[in-house]
Every structure is written in structure tokens, then in C-alpha cells.
Structure 1
Amino acid sequence: MKLIPTILCGGAGSRLWPVSRELHPKPFIRLADGQSLLQKAWLRGAILPDVAEMLTVTNRELLFKTEDEYRAVSVISGNRTNHFILEPFGRNTAPAIAAAALHVAESYGEDACMLVLAADHLIADQPAFAHAVKQATQLALQGKLVTFGIKPDAPETGYGYIEADIDSHLTKTGGYPVLRFVEKPTLEKAEEYLASGRYLWNSGMFCFQAGSMLREMEQHCPSILEATRACIAQSRIAEGKGFSQLDLDAATFELVPDDSIDYAVMEKSSNVAVVPCCIGWSDIGSWTALGDLAAPDAQGNRIEGEVILHDVSNCYIQSKQRIVGAVGVKDLVIIDTPDAVLIADRSRAQDVKYLYSRLKADGHEAHRLHSTVHRPWGTYTVLESGTHFKIKRIEVKPGASLSLQMHHHRSEHWIVVSGMARVVNGEHELFVNTNESTYIPAGHKHRLENPGLLTLVMIEVQSGEYLGEDDIVRFEDIYGRTQK
């Protein structure tokens, strides 16, 4: 049997703003052990037996960041081949799974099993998870579409539910036919579901043979399947050592209907089974849920970072860079980041998404980017900005290079803080060492490269009438970002 863990890495994680942003979504949030939710999801699949490759469906703007995350933990599980399906924009889970199933069927045959995992869930019990996957693959090999149902321990109103036919065992290992999927219930209904013993939380994880899913899609959502197939036919494939990627064509992908796999297939199919499991699962859907991962002090406060408290109880406070002081408050969530601070009542943590939506509607950059922005070549951090100027701290990885580019409206001063830079400035190429600088006039073609073995750190001072990130024309780029 070939098993292909398939990680769906999308969404904005709006309820975890300000740490989660559009270009730094929830899967990239790091927990106390230093690993991100995305890294944990990758390891969760990579260490299973019979894995043929690790498949990730994500936004193309997150590719290099995702590769960095995987590279940092690949030594734990041994090197796995990574295949990426890159979306130009989100189209929900049904198109993502359609593209993944078409790839797996083409590469490994329709009998290959796919294990679909969310990139932003936490599973605390890996052995129990591996056992549940073994149960699910047994059912998948019988042609079933299998979902993982979490045994509820509370009348939770924030999750969808699955009603299982508990009187009909599909296997000796405990799989059941699914009678129906239920939307997030009222508290009264959730209590009823919990008491019945027939309902499970819908985890959003699935297992099935690629061919089984494609046949169900042909029956229940043929427009999604055919539009996705047409898109793949127009898309580019790139391959390298230990990786390959399918870059979905934007024009044809826009024609793919937007729908979730639950609505498009799972709720319509009569061929769905559920494996009940207790695996320490959480979808980390709010700051309250994330805060509950930290140990409380005697007053019920959960703290991450340097915090000073006086007469404070039942608060979750996170601050990675600055000291936070709190006096005489209770039941609050306080999240401090370099460019935004969140203060919320713990009981209203789900409503943080409304702040995110407001920022997005207003076009505020705080919904999309942090002050530190990741790029394929490294990072830049905006230190200060004002009328006609902006100051950045730039870090370039060893051997990395920015694109050969030009700006119409701004000039740039570069000062090397540590390391050495190779610079193209107009018709000239020069090396700039520590404590040296160079000036790039507006309209000059230029490129910055780190030829050394250590990280290049420099300060960039921009000046001009317009300093937006879209004032850039790329002529050459090793990361494929040049304009056509």
C-alpha cells in the first residue's frame, strides 16, 4: 500500500490575529516547544509507515516559507520527497482535494491511499493517531471515504458533528457508516448529541483511495472535478532534488467552483465511514484554546513572555519582545506583537475575527503582513516609516539573492551591518563589506546577493515620493517571480 499524507495549508486564521496574518497564517504559529503547527502536521504524516511522498496544497506565496518549515524538521523523520500544489488564491477544500487526488492517481495509481490533514490542527497522542490511521486505511482499501470522528467530552457548539450508525460495525477495528453530517449546533442540541453517544466531532481529516474520491466527485460535483482537471492541463510542473511542484494556472483556476469537500462530496455520498478516536485533537480555533496549552499559575493566569502582574486572574498574556504589565484585571486575552496589540474578553475570543475583517476591508496592512516579512531569500523588518522615508533591517540567507530589479519612485541607501554583500548597481558590480555602504538611485537596475557562509545583515533607508512594495520591476529572479 502507498500512503500519501496530504496537508491542506490555507486560510487566514483570522481568530488568531494579530499573530496570524494573511501571509503568516495559523499553521505558521509556533508553540512553546518551538515547532509550528505546520511542522507538527508534516511530522505527523511523515513518520507513518508506507509513506510514498508528502503532498502539500498551499498558496504559492507561502511556498518558500513552507519549504523552510519542512527543512527545519525533516531530519527528525528522514528526508521525504515533497510535492507541492500551489494555488494562486483560495478556492476552498473541494478543489484542493480534487487537484491532490488527480496528482496522486496520475503518479501512484488510483489505488493509492490519501490521508488528508489540516495544517493548523494539534494532535497530542501520535500513537493513537497512527492506530486510527491504520483503521482508516483498512476501510479506504475497501473503497470507503473515511473521516476521523473525535469522541466528544463536552457539548461543544464550535464544531460540526457526525452522526454514526453505531449499530453497524464495518470492521472489527471499529469503523461505522456515517448517517449524516450536522452543522455547528445550539448548546441544547450539543448536549443532546453528547448524551446519545451517537455523535462525534468532525475533525476535518479524511482517508480514501484517490480513485474512490475521483469517482465520488464525478457523481456529486462533476463541475469541480472537470474544471480542476482543465486547470491542471494548463499548469506548470517544476521538479528538483527531493521536490516537485504543480503551479496551478490562475486564469483557469478562477473558473473552478468554490466549495468545501464536506458540502461537495461527504454530505452527499452514501459511501462514507467514520473512525471514532481519542487522539488529543484540537483545531486551536481561538486564543482561549491556544492559551489553554500553557500551564496556569495559582491565579489561573497563563503566561508566555516577560509579564509583570498585580492582582490579575484567569488571563492569557503573550508577549515575545516587550514587557507587559497588568493590574487589577481578570478574564482577558492580551497578545502583544511588534506592530499590533489585542485585548479581548476571554469569553469573546471567537469574535477576534471581526477585527481582522475590519482591517481587511479598510485595506490595512496589519491584516496581511507582520512588521517582519519573510521572502524566499530571507526577511525584512520595517523599523520606522514616515513621510517620504522608510527604514528596514534586511537579512539575506547564505547563498541567496534578491531579484535584479528597479524602482521608479524611490532611492535606497544600503549599510552592511554584518557579513558581505555582492551588489549590482546600474552598470557596476561591487562588494560591500561590514561598515560600508552604497547608494541606489531611483531608476537604477540593482541586485543584492549574499556570497558568504553567514547571514548578511544590512540596514536599508528608502526615500522618495512613493514607498509601496508594489513599486518594483523584476528583470531576473531565481525564484520565478519575474513579470511575464
Structure 2
Amino acid sequence: MTQKIVPVVLAGGKGTRLWPLSRAAAPKQFIRFIGPKTLFQNTLERISDKARYEAPIILTNEDFRFLVAEQAREMEMKLSSIILEPVARNTAPAVAAAAVLVRNMFGEDAIMQIFASDHEIRADEIYFDCIDKAFAAAQSGKLVTFGITPTEPSTGYGYIEAGKDLGRGIFQVERFVEKPSAERARELVESGRFSWNSGMFMFPVSILLKEFAELAPEILEHANESVDRDVGDLDFTRLDGEAFAKCPDISIDYAIMEKTELAAVVPSSFRWSDLGAWNALWENNNKDADGNVVEAEATLINTQNSLVVSPHLHIAAQGLEGMAIVASEDAVYVGKLSDSQNVGQIVKALKASKKTQAMAEIHPTSYRPWGGYTSIISGDRFQVKRIFVQPGKQLSLQKHHHRSEHWIVVKGTAEVTVGETVSMLTENESIYIPLGAVHRLANPGKIQLELIEIQTGAYLGEDDIIRLTDDFGRN
């Protein structure tokens, strides 16, 4: 049994509302927007106090498992477990499975806190005071949600009405309200009884499981089965796909919180945003003297109240007011901040064309268990990539049927196997991998290995990899 909070981080969501940096294969929780850390890493930082929290449980999916592991490694953050959801089933099945896992790992008396991995939060004294209030309420048997004090009559959030005062800054939940119209939102805010629904929760595990058994038994039954039949895979745990897929696709709000008589809310005035659009990123970050938020190498002339984000390209802008300029390695978005809620229309248009479909879904940088790669340029029968390999890791022993490769080391030390020959390469040294040759790349050093790979051949797809042996069990 633990006296600490068991944090459960939901990190499997796929979203494109912050395109072009956020895409289906690289959603916003894993992207560095402002500052050196991603939203997921900022979430890990908020739960890094070992006196308050146990090591976290992360729920994610197959596509993001290596992103989760690598970004936690960068933070030197120990994780209790990385749980892989086999199919997307909204938050109620995820929370139910997490509750079963927490009970099994930490005991029935454990208190679990549910975190979204893609929210921006100022973790100050006000924030941790709210956490302490919620912990006390959960210990007394309440299912607690955090209601954010509204700063405006927003139509983008659901609302929670506070009812009976339970003392110590806790209120009984009177009701939940769906995302309202603009007029209705003004009425809710002006009443002073409503707060934004943050999607953050604190639950006593035994009480939550009892409520699932009474209010959503089908979810609990299949969540239990998915945990009972889980399978270990390297550092990950896979929930049973057949059982989990039987869970209804429903949120924890609908399944439990709107039905239970034990729901309580902590009115919370700490700074919070779900970063649902580029204007939210502008609103929630420090601005220069002209009202601009700039995370880029940029030259701005007569430009005010704008957002400029560009990890790679130098941005030059002149005569702009209230604009968003966001550049990734392969695309640039330009639009009014006031219209940035509608980026989904851009993404929909990109997906509608075969020429641009991949741009809406695939990020130029892909992560693997050994490191990853960034696509730099591609053309007819050639492709250039930046490969990065973590210390002590190696790629599979493999060969290609349709391409040859040239590797040029730019940082670190590479151990390269080609056929029966093993070579050690350092910075500015290169090697050629002929078509069909059995080869392997490894990093025997203590720092990240980086190299430029030039592929040439008739077919350059990622599926032209014949793995002979692999440290990570991939075919």
C-alpha cells in the first residue's frame, strides 16, 4: 500500500489542431513548441516530486511507445509502466484499465490522479494547493475533478456547476454542462457557479472500481480482461486487444462522473490551457514589447501581437498584426490568430489530395527504439535523412532489395557492419552500403551518434527492410 498519489498520464491522443508541427503520427504532447521541453515532458516534471508521487503509469498506443520511452529517458524519469492501448476507446476504458493496474500494483487503498499529457499548466503554489485539496477529498471517498476558474466565456470547453460546499475548498458537483453557445457561456460565467471542465481527476481506486461495477459494468468487465491477459513486450505492457476492443467508446465524464453521487470539484485558479489552437499558445506565453510570442530565429518589422514558431527556418515578417506563422521542416502555416481554431479545415483539405495527404499525417521526424531519423529531402531515386542513434543502441541486422546507402558521420562514433567486415567511423568519415549487403549500424559511444544517410535506388520505402536479427523483436 502506498501513501503517495499514483499518477496516470494519458498520452495516446492523436490530434492535428496545431498543424504543421502536430500531426497524427506526432501529436502535440510530444512536440516542443515553446522552450526546451514537450508538453508530455512538462507533465512528467509536474509529477517528479518523489515525496508526493509514485513513479507514473503512462497509457499510450503502439505508434507513440518509443516517443514516450525516449522523452522520459531524456528527463531521467523512472516510470512504473508504459501501457499500450491496442485500440482507441476514449477515456473511460483507459481509466478503468488504469484503475485495475493501480490496484494490482499499489493496493486497493491507492489514490490515482489522471493527467492529460497535452495541457499547459503553471505548476505554482496555487496548483499544488489544489492537488492537496483533491487528495484529501479522494481520501474521504470522493471522485474529484478540477474545475478551472474561467477567464472568459469560452465555447470551447465543457462547464461544471459547483453545488453544496463540502468544506476545505471542495464542492459537490451539481451538474456538467456541454460546450455552450456564446450567449450561454456568458450566462454561466456571470453566475459565478461554473468552472471549465479540465479533464483532470483524482480517484480513490477502490471507490472508482465500485462505481464502474455499478454504473458501467461492461467497461469494467472488459478492462479487467484486457489487464488479466496483458503481454509484456520489452519495456512495454500490451493490453489484450480482443478484450479491450469490446469496451464501449465513451468518456469518463459520461460513463461515471455525470452519474455518480460521489463527484466533487476543486475550483482551481491556476493557469491552464488545453492548447487547442495556435491562439492559445500565443495567449499563454510571454510576449515581447510588441506583443509577439517568438520561438524561432526571426526578423520582424512592424509586426505586432503575432505568434512565430519555427524550429528550423529563419522567419522574416513585415507589417503583420494578430497573425500566426508556424513552420516545420516541410510546411508553413500562415493565418489569423483569431481563425486558428479552424486549422482543421486546412488539414482536411490536405488529406483530400494524394499529393499532400502524408503531410497531414506523417511528421518528417520518426522515432525508433534505437533513436530515429529526420527526412531532409527526397527526389526521383534518391533520399537524404539525418539518422540519430542513442548511446549503446544498434539497428537491426538488415538488408535492402532496392536501394544502396551512403553514411557520413557528423557526430559521435559509429560501428558499422557490412557483410563480415566491422568498421569504426568517427566524424567526417563515411562508408558505402551496397544494394543487398547485410549490414548493421551501432553506437558504441557515450554520446548520441548522428549521421547523414543518402539513399539511392528504384524504391526507397521503409518497408524495404529485411530484418535478420533485431534487439527489439521486430520482424
Say whether the fold is shared (TM-score over 0.5).
yes
Match of 1:181 in 2: 176
Change (3 A) 1:358 1:235: farther
Match of 2:468 in 1: 475
* Cα pair 1:48 1:130 within 8 Å, conserved: no
1:319 positional shift:
2.2
Match of 2:46 in 1: 44
TM-score, L = length of structure 2: 0.92
Q: In structure 1, what is the Cα distance between the partners aligned to 2:353 and 2:212?
A: 38
2:462 counterpart SS class:
coil
Q: In structure 2, what is the Cα distance between the partners aligned to 1:98 and 1:59?
A: 16
Q: In structure 2, what is the Cα distance between the partners aligned to 1:423 and 1:251?
A: 41
The alignment status of 1:148 with 2:146, answered yes or no, reads yes
Match of 2:212 in 1: 217
- Offset from partner CA, 1:21-77 (integer Å, 9 cap, x none): 223221123354422211221121222634232111112332232233223334xxx
* Cα pair 1:86 1:245 within 8 Å, conserved: yes
* Cα pair 2:4 2:51 within 8 Å, conserved: no
Match of 1:315 in 2: 306
Q: In structure 2, what is the Cα distance between the partners aligned to 1:357 and 1:95?
A: 28
1:20 counterpart SS class:
coil
* Cα pair 1:44 1:126 within 8 Å, conserved: no
- Mapping for residues 79-98 of structure 1, pairs under 5 Å: 80-98=78-96
1:4 positional shift:
0.1
Q: In structure 1, what is the Cα distance between the partners aligned to 2:249 and 2:351?
A: 20
1:122 positional shift:
1.7
Which residue of 446, 451, 460 corresponds with 1:458? 451
Which residue of 342, 350, 355 corresponds with 2:333? 342
* Cα pair 1:221 1:264 within 8 Å, conserved: yes
Deviates more, 1:426-435 or 1:37-46: 426-435
TM-score, L = length of structure 1: 0.90
- Mapping for residues 67-78 of structure 1, pairs under 5 Å: 67-74=69-76
Structure 2: segments with no counterpart, 5+ residues: none
- Offset from partner CA, 1:298-345 (integer Å, 9 cap, x none): 443332222223333322122232222223332211111221100111
Q: In structure 2, what is the Cα distance between the partners aligned to 1:475 and 1:376?
A: 17
One-letter amino acid matched to 1:69: Q
* Cα pair 2:308 2:324 within 8 Å, conserved: yes
Which residue of 357, 376, 380 corresponds with 2:369? 376
1:360 positional shift:
4.3
Match of 1:121 in 2: 119
Which residue of 361, 365, 386 corresponds with 2:358? 365
Match of 2:135 in 1: 137
Change (3 A) 1:302 1:436: closer
Q: CA RMSD in A?
A: 2.3
1:376 positional shift:
2.3
- Offset from partner CA, 1:162-197 (integer Å, 9 cap, x none): 1111xx222x20211112111111111111111111
Q: In structure 1, what is the Cα distance between the partners aligned to 2:396 and 2:253?
A: 42
One-letter amino acid matched to 1:96: A
2:104 counterpart SS class:
helix
Match of 2:22 in 1: 20
- Offset from partner CA, 1:447-479 (integer Å, 9 cap, x none): 111122333232222122221122223332223
The alignment status of 1:6 with 2:2, answered yes or no, reads no
1:433 positional shift:
4.6
Deviates more, 1:357-366 or 1:91-100: 357-366
1:272 positional shift:
0.8
Which residue of 217, 226, 232 corresponds with 1:231? 226
One-letter amino acid matched to 2:83: I
1:436 positional shift:
4.1
Which residue of 192, 195, 213 corresponds with 2:187? 192
Q: In structure 1, what is the Cα distance between the partners aligned to 2:422 and 2:289?
A: 62
Structure 1: segments with no counterpart, 5+ residues: none
* Cα pair 2:306 2:323 within 8 Å, conserved: yes
Change (3 A) 1:419 1:362: same
1:238 positional shift:
5.6
Aligned sequence identity (%)? 44
Q: In structure 1, what is the Cα distance between the partners aligned to 2:284 and 2:341?
A: 17
1:46 counterpart SS class:
coil
- Offset from partner CA, 1:187-244 (integer Å, 9 cap, x none): 11111111111111101000011122222222222222222222223321368xxxx6
2:75 counterpart SS class:
helix
Match of 2:101 in 1: 103
Which residue of 235, 251, 254 corresponds with 1:260? 251
One-letter amino acid matched to 2:387: I
1:11 positional shift:
1.8
* Cα pair 1:122 1:281 within 8 Å, conserved: yes
Which residue of 434, 439, 447 corresponds with 1:446? 439
Change (3 A) 1:296 1:431: closer
Change (3 A) 1:426 1:368: farther
The alignment status of 1:303 with 2:294, answered yes or no, reads yes
1:106 positional shift:
0.9
1:142 positional shift:
2.3
Q: In structure 2, what is the Cα distance between the partners aligned to 1:90 and 1:215?
A: 24
2:463 counterpart SS class:
coil
- Offset from partner CA, 1:386-438 (integer Å, 9 cap, x none): 11111112122221101122333322222334443222333444434544443
What count of residue pairs does the alignment treat as equivalent?
471
The alignment status of 1:292 with 2:288, answered yes or no, reads no
One-letter amino acid matched to 1:209: P
Q: In structure 1, what is the Cα distance between the partners aligned to 2:256 and 2:365?
A: 40
